[in-house]
Structure 1
């Protein structure tokens, strides 16, 4: 009997892939899932009305690469193909992405032609960044921050105005702390192996691509053929984990909601006891932990303080989310995905997503303001109220987008410690965590955003690869 700890996307995906393996191999492995709250889906939560959808967490998914196509395979298998809303390259949400610098919104180049043109706030055409890389010497490093790497290879402006805001948008983090391997592992390896990024790109092209083979569903093939930029799910992204939860229930996985675990007791290499806060216990032959590493750290501290310490060293950040709905029939914004604010601007907000452009079936204008992240406590303090975050968000919206209309509806969420930060040395730390588990022969596997990537695709793929790895042992 296997236990899954956590009913977020990682836990649900683990259950999905364990079931798939059971079915394909005619196994009779019994599964149960424990979730501390009354909801399965983690940070993916949608508030839906007849006029608007407020996404309190992720809202879109990228279809690129093996991990992106893998998610599309799952979506088709769950019967959600007809619910997909694709955004293709000619859509404003794909073409128009902005940054806010010096009290002005600037559009980032979205075509090859734009790379050869001067686009403010950059002082030179972006092609000059490639020349900078060619003339820079090699610097041998084991790891580096993504900011340092980009500044060294492509210049300070690219680091400040392109990469830093992008890191804010992806993980609400500081590019000066986040490992280059988080987003640019291949480019970093080009520098280390070939002396530069451009040199590495050329040599890899000469070698030819070595992509992972993946059998594609019709939905994944369509995404490739139509070159989707991003996509979402009609009716809210919450539809996705809801379908996964139903799949688990339909296949006799026992779901225990509102069930908190306070300690994990590893009896031996084939038995683990989960001690619940109500004094009861449950046993399993193996456990898949999808809960955040800082939570798992507390559950194993009695038996394995060294493992607990390693887990606790992965930092997390808190993000404020303010969803806004303006009922006006006239458009209040130019069609675009939204804008991000570089940390160098010292703004209280990370950026704004134009949901009424990205998400279908929205009336009026729908915006989501993201606040805090790496700088949450610094800017707002630990005891900031939702009312205060709403006031700050509205002030910035009025100032930047010049919107004076009255808000028809809003929602404020404070997502406490919601995104792990892959700071310099993260991947070595994760390797040490997994080596400890292997050396001690502990019956536990780790999945989820704490370890192998923070995006939806990453979390799903993490579950898939971990299940496959365990099956082949």
Structure 2
């Protein structure tokens, strides 16, 4: 039985890892780019003692997805840099709103005072949830903004939920599905009539972390137990997060998994005996494909034989994001923390700023990552400004928001085209229909990755594992 994986990002490499573990060889991973890792990219400036990350930089060790990633990290023997819950980067998260930097509450006490940009104590929003009835008819889905406004009020929707969605998927909370991205909260309202009420009932019942038992037959990973015991909020990897895909490629290569770079699949043809992939004008027959490509890249590969499936895949929209990495000499931040988010109601071109040098040691430098664009990319960058214009724009807003007078000594500008899928209202049904189509037509194709199962590192790795474990290869 021959299996191929399309895509050498984290989800594709993870699919290769779990396929090897479950079925052994033969196995080939095809990646169109000349490198593995997808959007995970680290630039380590050894001479200057800092790292630029143009993609994610930290991983959360939470729940089944977090434990699963830690099991993988443990197997690969990677060096971890934990950030505990007491660390300033875990405690301090900020908003830039109404012309000022606002600290978000980091303890229950913070619910009772009036903290900008909010005009009343946050406990009142919780009371609103307690007295607000759930919708009369059972909703299949709605936008996160609509859900938050209905349950907690417009101020929470504008200044808490909307910027959070910018941070998660660079998206507009008025379009993003609450059922997909915050399914737990949505189900609590639908089942118990309120979010807070549902949370209290679930805690009272002592609901366990579902799925952990079946996933870890040998007991939960040691690193996960350590993370729980030491109260990690998040962690990074020594040398930057790109160490993870690089090490995975090395691990797979040492076990005779063929990772082919600069090999783009141009077409898929399904037949009774499997599937033929067109790679570099050659037909490669395999029995099954695990595809981790973005939905919009898979769509043209199946369009000739399965136009309906192609159309469904194209119904998943993607956004472009601009990432600007900056290094300043010395420690210039007046307030330490993980970083800040900018609510869309502020109508600024930046989504947020991550304080990298607060999270990890950066050799005495101030290192920041500015994120821009996303859902609003065309509004701010539709005329395709130069890298210098983008850098100047990012520098201007960083200086204004953070009170930094210096210009960056070193910088990088990355425009990441169609990098984050948007989980618009109805996304769960959309994904279910796509997978139902594969099952109905008995296509030897499994789909994993951010488009289908969540945008985070933990999500895409667990997505690969679950798709592989669902396979019944002869």
When normalised by structure 1's length, the TM-score is 0.96
Partner of residue 288 from structure 2, selected from 274, 286, 289: 286
Alignment of 1:245-284 (within 5 A): 245-268=249-272, 270-276=273-279, 278-284=280-286
Change (3 A) 1:237 1:333: farther
Whole-Å separation in 1 of the counterparts to 2:465 and 2:379: 38
Q: Which runs of 5+ in 2 are unaligned?
A: none
Residue 123 in 1 paired to residue 124 in 2?
Answer: no
Whole-Å separation in 2 of the counterparts to 1:443 and 1:29: 17
Whole-Å separation in 1 of the counterparts to 2:473 and 2:120: 52
Alignment of 1:191-210 (within 5 A): 191-210=189-208
Alignment of 1:73-472 (within 5 A): 73-80=71-78, 83-139=79-135, 140-212=138-210, 213=213, 214=216, 215-268=219-272, 270-276=273-279, 278-327=280-329, 329-381=330-382, 383-471=384-472
Which region of structure 1 is more displaced relative to structure 2, 32-41 or 278-287? 278-287
* TM-aligned CA deviation for residue 164 of structure 1: 0.5
Whole-Å separation in 1 of the counterparts to 2:100 and 2:173: 22
Whole-Å separation in 2 of the counterparts to 1:97 and 1:135: 29
- Per-residue CA deviation, residues 381-406 of structure 1 (Å, 9 max, x unaligned), is 05232222111101101111121113
Q: Would you say the 8 A contact 1:234–1:360 is kept in 2?
A: no
Q: Would you say the 8 A contact 2:331–2:364 is kept in 1?
A: no
Q: Would you say the 8 A contact 1:53–1:362 is kept in 2?
A: no
Q: Would you say the 8 A contact 1:60–1:232 is kept in 2?
A: yes
* TM-aligned CA deviation for residue 207 of structure 1: 2.6
Q: Would you say the 8 A contact 1:85–1:360 is kept in 2?
A: no
Change (3 A) 1:171 1:362: farther
Whole-Å separation in 2 of the counterparts to 1:362 and 1:85: 15
Whole-Å separation in 2 of the counterparts to 1:206 and 1:229: 24
Q: Would you say the 8 A contact 1:272–1:443 is kept in 2?
A: yes
* TM-aligned CA deviation for residue 301 of structure 1: 0.3
User: How many corresponding residue pairs?
Assistant: 463
Change (3 A) 1:362 1:147: farther
* TM-aligned CA deviation for residue 256 of structure 1: 1.1
- Per-residue CA deviation, residues 363-384 of structure 1 (Å, 9 max, x unaligned), is 3100010000000011210523
Secondary structure of the 2:450 match is coil
Which region of structure 1 is more displaced relative to structure 2, 303-312 or 358-367? 358-367
Secondary structure of the 1:360 match is coil
Which region of structure 1 is more displaced relative to structure 2, 181-190 or 258-267? 181-190
Please report the RMSD computed on the Cα atoms of aligned residues, expressed in angstroms. 1.3
Q: Would you say the 8 A contact 2:312–2:430 is kept in 1?
A: yes
Change (3 A) 1:29 1:363: same
Change (3 A) 1:105 1:134: same
- Per-residue CA deviation, residues 263-318 of structure 1 (Å, 9 max, x unaligned), is 111122x4111112x31121110000000000000110001000000000000000
* TM-aligned CA deviation for residue 262 of structure 1: 1.1
Q: Which runs of 5+ in 1 are unaligned?
A: 23-27
Which region of structure 1 is more displaced relative to structure 2, 337-346 or 384-393? 384-393
Whole-Å separation in 1 of the counterparts to 2:384 and 2:408: 25
Q: Would you say the 8 A contact 2:332–2:404 is kept in 1?
A: no
Secondary structure of the 2:411 match is strand
Whole-Å separation in 2 of the counterparts to 1:264 and 1:93: 46
Secondary structure of the 1:281 match is strand
Residue 68 in 1 paired to residue 66 in 2?
Answer: yes
